[in-house]
Amino acid sequence: MEKNQYVFIDFEFTMPEKSAKFKGFFPEIIEVGIVAVVNDVVREKFSSYVAPRKFPILSERCKTFLHISQQDVNKGISFYDLVKKIEEVCCGYHNIIVTWGNMDMKVLKNNCFKAGIPFSLQLDEVDLSMEYKRFFGDQNQTGLWKAVKEYGREGTGRHHRALDDALTTYHIFRLVEQDKKYLEKPEPTTIGDLIDVSKLFNKFA
């Protein structure tokens, strides 16, 4: 029977200029961070820039917001190699993909469609931001680094770096899972909780 593997994924995407209309624009993956975990042990970490196919030249807005240069993506792996890497990481396991928000997997699947690459992976998908929202009863979805600060922790590395965000997602996942277990298994009731010991002593005094 295949072991469960949790695969924490974060992508950074291209962005158009606010003032310009890019005809047919769609976001493309330009950075990937992957953290693969089996039995609470990190089995593999992977980080790389990815060269965009359709719109290879990054907008100034994208470079400024993500602190990613044109040289970074020019030296990145191809989108085809990215898909192969994800398949390699997932091979031999029952995979649960965990992302913060639902955009990562949507963009991955759309990029596969645009590139004519079949998306054949059988995956369970978890949007941890929705799990977090339901667990804490929040009305609105919380940003990744705001969520980790609400736990009194700090994010790993720098926000909007794919591997750092994937690691931060993994840390929040562990914290939420610990809280779930705590709520599911309350402390066992002691005899002192059932009997007022002082009254019992007074009765026999």
From first to last of its 205 residues, the chain has per-residue pLDDT tens of: 679 999 999 999 999 987 666 678 999 999 999 999 999 999 999 999 999 999 999 999 999 999 999 999 999 999 999 999 999 999 999 999 999 999 999 999 999 999 999 988 889 999 999 888 887 766 566 777 677 777 666 555 566 689 999 999 999 899 888 877 766 655 554 544 444 545 544 544 4
Stated pTM of the model: 0.82
Give the whole-angstrom CA distance, residue 32 versus residue 162: 5
Give the whole-angstrom CA distance, residue 110 versus residue 153: 34
- DSSP tag of 101: S
Active site residues: 12, 160
Give the whole-angstrom CA distance, residue 35 versus residue 166: 6
Give the whole-angstrom CA distance, residue 99 versus residue 117: 22
- DSSP tag of 137: T
Q: Which top CATH class is 3-186? A: alpha beta
